[in-house]
Amino acid sequence: MLSLLNHSRRRKQQHIRCFHHRHSPHQVSFKSVKMVFSRFLRLILLLSLVSSSFSYTTSPSNFTASDQTLRPQEEIQKLKLIRNELLKINKPAVKTIQSSDGDTIDCVPTHQQPAFDHPLLHGQRPMDPPEMPKRYSKDDESCEDSQLWSLTGESCPEGTVPIRRTTEQDMLRASSVRRFGRKIRRVRRDSTSNGHEHAVGYVSGRQYYGAKASINVWSPRVTSQYEFSLSQIWVIAGSFTHDLNTIEAGWQISPELYRDTYPRFFTYWTSDAYRTTGCYNLLCSGFVQTNRRIAIGAAISPRSSYKGGQFDISLLIWKDPKHGHWWLQFGSGALVGYWPAFLFTHLRQHGSMVQFGGEIVNTRPGGSHTSTQMGSGHFAGEGFGKASYFRNLQMVDWDNTLIPVSNLKILADHPNCYDIRGGTNRVWGNYFYYGGPGKNPRCP
């Protein structure tokens, strides 16, 4: 998410002074020998410290050769912190797959994924698949997107899950290593104090046990490393001030998080309004993955094109009525995994709002509105093949039944930059077009 700009630090060169002998070997006093020997020991200790910072160079999540130089003490400490975080995130793999987009996918034993570092999951195994919501049908599924890494023809073996490897460079792009993989805190859903802008459809006022939609996939332009553009489903409970619970899934372009501008399948959760809990994907203990063919955080392919082919992904989030966990399905029947109920407070019972739509971060480069695009980068009024859409919006009720959303409200907090238009028909059910180019004559 939006991060503070990470000002680059100038590396300091560390100079080792040369001490010239002023006496012949036979004239050196014991005191001189002791002094030289003491300096020699300090030098050895310094080199040992630096060496230990880069001794991890044979691990899959290691530091690169270009980093094996002397750095100021604060840089060494930062790299030590990064190394420790990478050890938590990147688990031992039984197989590794290289993707054409540069990603490395590790096939990690299911019971060793990051979720099982959580004290309440130690020693456990993933839950069995839950009961599907009633009235669920695969007949309305779209032409399914796949992920770039799977186009290699390889897959992870049974008993493992594919996890996108996090690298040192991924963490160095973040303004805060300790908050790597987390969103910044927002005070209200429609708040733009932190540069977040939305075009969304939402329902509220009832008890919600899940949501489903098909989301058009594009590659909107993101003009800054510290901005993003996403399209997602939110299941929400609690207040927007301090105890907000959210479950989120969709696609996102985030150069800061992923280094490139591919749309990527992502998940998120928080139980305290983005303060200290939750994270993207599998970057902390939380979401339990059960699928060996879908990698969370991996690039989606193909993508839609203006006046060309249109592709969307179908996502379903729902609460298992038996155990209370929140499950996620991607596409036609592929269960990705679940958020354990104990992660949440309010969402242990149900959601109080469901939201669908787009969000961007506007850092106001040069004092004007960003040119980062939302959706396709075109306004909703351009319609199919030009504007991005959500279709077949549904919710899960108290009886674990999928029903069409009712009383859908739409909101664009900066309609001259990004807008939204809703509708209903027999084929798409409840739907809307949304998005925009950002900066333009009406959005300076």
> For residues 63 and 169, is the Cβ–Cβ distance under 8 A?
no
> In the annotation, is 359 catalytic?
yes
Q: Which of 85, 227, 248, 256 is catalytic?
A: 248
| Per-residue model confidence (pLDDT) at position 53 | 35
Q: Which of 168, 197, 256, 359 is catalytic?
A: 359
| Per-residue model confidence (pLDDT) at position 65 | 37
In the chain, the N- to C-terminal Cα span, in Å, equals 23
> In the annotation, is 131 catalytic?
no
Burial of 260 (0-12, 13-18, 19+ CB in 10 A): middle
d(CA 129, CA 109): 18
Domain boundaries defined on the chain? 92-136+143-436
| Per-residue model confidence (pLDDT) at position 193 | 53
d(CA 46, CA 34): 18
d(CA 367, CA 358): 23
Alpha-carbon distance values, 295 to 20, 216, 230, 251, 282 (Å): 60, 19, 18, 13, 10
| Per-residue model confidence (pLDDT) at position 76 | 86
| Per-residue model confidence (pLDDT) at position 36 | 37
d(CA 118, CA 96): 25
3 state SS of 131? coil
| Per-residue model confidence (pLDDT) at position 297 | 97
**pTM for the full model?**
0.82
* Cis peptide preceding 302, ω within 30 of 0: yes
pLDDT digits (tens, 9 = 90+) for 323-350: 999 999 998 889 999 999 999 999 999 9
pLDDT < 70 positions in the chain: 1-71, 138-145, 185-193
Q: Of 243, 227, 215, 235, which Cα lies nearest the Cα of 358? A: 215
d(CA 121, CA 343): 11
pLDDT digits (tens, 9 = 90+) for 259-316: 999 999 999 999 999 999 999 999 999 999 999 999 999 999 999 999 999 999 999 9
CB atoms within 10 A of CB 166: 24
